[in-house]
Amino acid sequence: EQAELAKAAETTSRSRCRVLILEEVGGRIMRWLTMARPGGYLASRLASIATLPSVVKGAESASGAVRMVATTMNTQFGSQNVLDRCSVEPGSEDYEENKRAMEVLVQRMRDDVTRISKGGGEDAINRALKRGKLLVRDRINQLLDPGSPFLELSTYAGEGLYGKDLVPCGGIVTGLGRVNGRLVCVVANDPTVKGGTYFPITVKKHLRAQEIAEQNKLPSIYLVDSGGANLPRQKDVYPDRDHFGRIFYNQARMSSMGLSQVACVLGSCTAGGAYVPCMADETIIVKGMGTIFLGGPPLVKAATGEEVNAEELGGAEVHCKESGVADHMALNERHALQLARQVVSTINAPSVSEVESAFGDGSFDEPLFPAEELRGCIPADPRKPFDVRSIIARVVDGSRFSEFKKEYGSTLVTGFAEIHGMPVGI
């Protein structure tokens, strides 16, 4: 058995297959273990199963027998084939033409992202800075672990959608990042874009971020600085099932599921913008800058004749000492973001390292072909066909791809692979 195991392990290292050792007792498989990447995806799946049927295709059952069965990287995958260059020839005339055309598009995209990231423009930025505020992306940088990546979502939201009414980035920045080693979803209003008010596309982008957080079981952090619904467009913001109110419904549901909702009030939170911190599990508010109320001082005066300033109506002192809406009072924005990091450190959520360890030791094979070749894969002329497998070969681990229904429906390529060691469907 030891000799067979050694031989199997050697085969495994060459083919990146896993070897299962199955012991049958009375026609049932009673013991199993895996060779290669112990504690990986397949091992964790098997460990959760109490008993397994003893039927293994092509092998006979025998009481007390020990069999070795070679399996692929994942129980759902068929045999994985290594993709070739797929007719992509670096240095050829077609390749160079494709590369030049793609580089023009990439540069255009980078220019767009630079412009979009400036928010509401120089005047709005200067007004925010004069008030001592951090810009929205600076707030996110202060919140996240130093040097950790931030995967921004929906950067192009609102681009050219409302004609002369510019809403760069949809007026809200959303994405995934790490806070105290935990993966979180960040939703941050940009007050330089129409005062952080919600256009229809802002609502849609906010809901999309919440959907991703729920699907991936992530806590959410809201950096709130919003005037609520954009009044000229409020008829398209409020009434329907997936409009503004859905944000608060999602907050309540995710909180009940144990997905923590944390809010930092970094500016004025008026009308619809006030509900987000009120419905959060923990809320932090900046003294002298953050306010929470449905109607501001002008509305109160118009309705009751009472004259009151914003701090008296809904400032940090009111909500931390009297109403109980806020849980922590911060001296400034940086202090508030530091408090948010402390809150995340106390919530019951797995760290990134714990999540990654469930899929093995983190090792993976680079694609056989460099990612730089992607720019020459897609024809400059969109009418010219190309093999989409040339893209897959430069993205997936080891350029290995187990194609599904290869002979059926030739206009669509589907299958299984791994990216950074994580099983994926394509």
Q: What is the DSSP letter of 171?
A: G
d(CA 368, CA 5): 29
* 209 and 254 co-located in one domain: yes
Q: Are residue 89 and residue 186 in the same domain, yes or no?
A: no
Q: Do residues 208 and 282 both lie within one domain?
A: yes
Contact criterion met (CB below 8 Å) for 264 and 223: yes
Are 200 and 133 contained in the same domain? yes
Residue 273 within any structural domain of the chain = yes
295 pLDDT more than 80: yes
Same-domain check for residues 338 and 201: yes
Is 76 part of any domain?
no
Statement: residue 12 has pLDDT above 60: no
Q: What is the CATH number of the domain that holds 205?
A: 3.90.226.10
Helix axis angle for 333-346 and 136-143, nearest 10°, is: 40
Same domain, 139 and 268: yes
Would residue 354 count as lying in a domain? Answer: no
The answer to whether 245 and 287 are in contact (CB under 8 A) is no
The answer to the question of residue 34 being in a domain is: yes
Is the pLDDT reported for residue 18 higher than 80? no
Q: What is the mean pLDDT of residues 242-254?
A: 95
Considering the domain architecture, whether residues 237 and 144 belong to the same structural domain is answered as yes
Boundaries of domain holding 223: 118-349
Contact status, residue 211 vs residue 205, Cβ threshold 8 Å: no
Domain count, the chain: 3
Same domain, 42 and 126: no
28, amino acid identity: R
In our burial notation (b when 16+ CB lie closer than 10 A, e otherwise), range 227-252 reads: bbbbeebbebbeeeeebbbbbeebbe
**343 touches 284 (CB < 8 A):** yes
Do 345 and 384 sit in the same domain of this protein? no
Q: What is the pLDDT of residues 50-94, one digit of tens each?
A: 344 433 333 333 344 444 444 444 444 555 788 887 778 898 999
- Torsion, CA 240, CA 243, CA 244, CA 245, rounded to 10: 50
CA–CA gap between residue 244 and residue 324 (Å, rounded): 25
Q: Which residues contact 64 (CB under 8 A, 6 or more apart)?
A: 23, 24, 25
**Is residue 43 located within the same domain as residue 187?**
no
Which pTM does this prediction carry? 0.79
- In this structure, how many other beta carbons lie within 10 angstroms of the beta carbon of residue 194? 21
Instruction: Give the lowest-confidence range in 68-82, 206-220, 301-315.
Output: 68-82
Given 349, 383, 407, which residue is the final one in a domain? 349
Structural domain ending residue among the three candidates 349, 378, 401: 349
